[in-house]
A and B are shown apart, each in its own frame.
Chain A
Amino acid sequence: MIFIGVLFIIQLYQPDRNIDENIVTPLHISETMDVPVNVMKILKSSCFDCHSNNTNYPWYSYIQPVRSMMERHIKNGKENLNFSEFGSYSRRKQENKLDRIAKQIKANEMPLPSYLLIHRDAKLSEIEKAEIINWINDLSKPAI
């Protein structure tokens, strides 16, 4: 009985959602960089949920305590890398962020395995991984 009561009470805690209502600021990566369409599609489906100001919430995100866990992931994710505010980073930081993205994807460290458990469609195929890594490697090559 107490357990059900507690479960009921925690449902009342519903913090603000990480949704930007499709407002794309000039700081968004899509505005600051030339991102190819195919790469942008991958970023959107596999990265933006935790690394942007716009999360695509699944239905069970309305249920606590799932909700709180999710918000914590999003907060951490955005602290480390926020594609919605990519333009606010110094050029050095942008370069290094991209370098880190390529390395983490290559090493299967991102997207997080715990996230992929639920978001099957966010898992990157070898082709998708190569698309992102090649895009980043081409950027770091000096223009001829």
Chain B
Amino acid sequence: MNKSITAFVLLAFTAAACQSKDTESNSQVLDSAEVNIENKDVEPESATPFSSSIDNIITEYLNLKNALTADNSSEASKFGKNIVSEISKLDVSKFTTEQREVYDEVIDDAKEQSEHIGDNSDNLPHQREHFALLSRDLADLLAVFETKKQLYQVFCPMYDDKKGAIWLSEFKEIKNPYFGSQMLTCGSIQKEL
């Protein structure tokens, strides 16, 4: 009996401790919100990170692709995480209906593939599997979104048990991100975007 009383007292203390921690972090959130509001007054509105352009996503994707080409798993992980953060900065309010449809269909998936690439900094084959799925998502996005960059869609027939996979590249020259140094020049340009 004594034991269970002690148990309940201890439990009550723990619960109280948890609660006070919650309020603390809440007030911290409030503080930082205030700071943000103050900053907004100083900076012009154009400084907002949100954009309806997918250029930044493409830039990080190309970085990721080049890291995979160089067989560099930890760099690839870093750029995977960058893509996730760029996706969250998209301003969907300025999208056309057509853009919105494609966005709704692929963006969740693109984000998830990028997360997996970010989380697997020691597993190149795993990152490449997700890169193949991500590439397809971004190719579909590019069908309805403008980008300032000159891009090529390249096809590697060997990847994924010869089912093949595409990637997007800024180079006309073939540098294969699926096999890296193993088979650097495998692939052919399918189309210019």
Contacts and interface: CB of A to CB of B under 8 A. Distances in A.
Interface of A: 5, 8-9, 12, 89-93, 96, 99-100, 103
B106 A92 contact: yes
A91 B133 contact: no
B34 interface: no
Contacts of B140: 92
A75 to B, nearest CB: 16
Contact of A96 (B3, B7, B10, B133): B133
B7 A9 contact: yes
Interface in B1-43: 3-4, 6-7, 10-11
B104 A9 contact: no
State the majority secondary structure of interface residues on B. helix
Contacts of B112: 93
A13 to B, nearest CB: 9
A99 B105 contact: no
B108 interface: yes
Interface residues of B, number: 17
Contacts of A103: 129
Contacts of B105: 90-92
A90 B6 contact: no
Contacts of A99: 133
B86 interface: no
Contacts of A9: 7, 10-11
Given A96-B133, A99-B133, A103-B129, A89 B108 contact: yes
A93 B104 CA distance: 11
Given A9-B10, A99-B133, A90 B109 contact: yes
Contacts of B60: none
B104 to A, nearest CB: 7
A74 B113 CA distance: 20
Contacts of A12: 7, 11
Interface string B96-119: 000000001110110011000000
Which 3 residue pairs of A and B lie closest in terms of their CB atoms, listed nearest first?
A93-B109, A9-B7, A92-B109
Contact of B137 (A8, A92, A100): A92
A9 B10 CA distance: 8
A90 B106 contact: yes
A115 B10 CA distance: 33
A92 B101 CA distance: 12
A10 B88 CA distance: 39
A50 B133 CA distance: 24
